[in-house]
Chains A and B, each alone.
Chain A
Amino acid sequence: MQQRATLGLAEARSTLDAMLVEAERRGGRPLAIAVVDDRGELVCFAAMAGVNVALARQNAFKKAYTAAVMRADTQAYADRLAQAGMKVEDMGNPHFIGGGGGAVVEAPDGTILGGLGVSGRPSEEDETVVQVGKAFMARLLARGG
Chain B
Amino acid sequence: MYTRPVLDVTDAFRAVDAMLAAATGITARPLAIAVVDDQGDTVAFVRMDGAPAFNRHYARAKAYTASRMRQDLSVFAAYRAQEGRTLADFADQGLVGSAHGGLVLTDPSNGAVVGAIGVSGATPDEDERVAQAGRKALGGEAK
Residues in A lying within 8 Å of B, measured CB to CB:
6, 8-10, 13, 20, 39, 41-50, 53, 57
- Identify 23 residue pairs between A and B in the complex whose beta-carbon atoms are under 8 Å apart, listed by A's number: A6-B49, A8-B49, A9-B48, A10-B49, A13-B46, A42-B47, A42-B56, A44-B45, A44-B46, A44-B47, A46-B44, A47-B9, A47-B37, A47-B43, A47-B44, A48-B8, A48-B9, A49-B6, A49-B8, A49-B9, A53-B41, A57-B41, A57-B42
Answer yes or no: B53 CB below 8 A from chain A CBs. yes
Contact partner of A53 (CB less than 8 A), chosen from B9, B13, B39, is B39
Question: Interface of chain A, helix or strand or loop or mixed?
Answer: mixed
Contact partner of A50 (CB less than 8 A), chosen from B6, B39, B46, B49, is B6
CA of A39 to CA of B45, assembled, Å: 17
Decide if B41 touches A47 in the complex (CB within 8 Å).
yes
Question: Interface of chain B, helix or strand or loop or mixed?
Answer: mixed
Residues in B lying within 8 Å of A, measured CB to CB:
6-9, 12-13, 37, 39, 41-49, 53, 56
Query: Which residue on B lies nearest to A33, using beta carbons?
Result: B9
Q: Which residues of B contact A10 (CB under 8 A)?
A: 49
Q: Which residues of A contact B7 (CB under 8 A)?
A: 49
Query: Which residue on B lies nearest to A53, using beta carbons?
Result: B41
Decide if A43 touches B46 in the complex (CB within 8 Å).
yes
CA of A41 to CA of B41, assembled, Å: 18
CA of A8 to CA of B48, assembled, Å: 7
Q: Which residues of A contact B43 (CB under 8 A)?
A: 46-47, 49
Q: How near does chain B come to A95, taking the closest CB pair, in angstroms? A: 14
Contact partner of B9 (CB less than 8 A), chosen from A8, A20, A39, A57, is A20
Decide if A45 touches B53 in the complex (CB within 8 Å).
no
Decide if A9 touches B49 in the complex (CB within 8 Å).
yes
Q: Which residues of B contact A39 (CB under 8 A)?
A: 53
CA of A53 to CA of B46, assembled, Å: 19
Q: Which residues of A contact B13 (CB under 8 A)?
A: 46
Q: Which residues of B contact A50 (CB under 8 A)?
A: 6
CA of A10 to CA of B48, assembled, Å: 9
Decide if B45 touches A42 in the complex (CB within 8 Å).
yes
Q: Which residues of A contact B9 (CB under 8 A)?
A: 20, 46-49
Decide if B41 touches A43 in the complex (CB within 8 Å).
no
Q: Give the 6 A-B CB pairs with smallest separation, nearest first.
A: A45-B45, A44-B46, A8-B49, A49-B6, A49-B8, A48-B9
Q: A8-B49, A10-B49, A43-B47 are known contacts; what are 17 more A-B pairs with Cβ within 8 Å? A: A9-B48, A41-B47, A41-B53, A42-B45, A42-B47, A44-B46, A45-B42, A45-B45, A46-B9, A47-B37, A47-B43, A47-B44, A48-B9, A49-B6, A49-B43, A53-B39, A53-B41
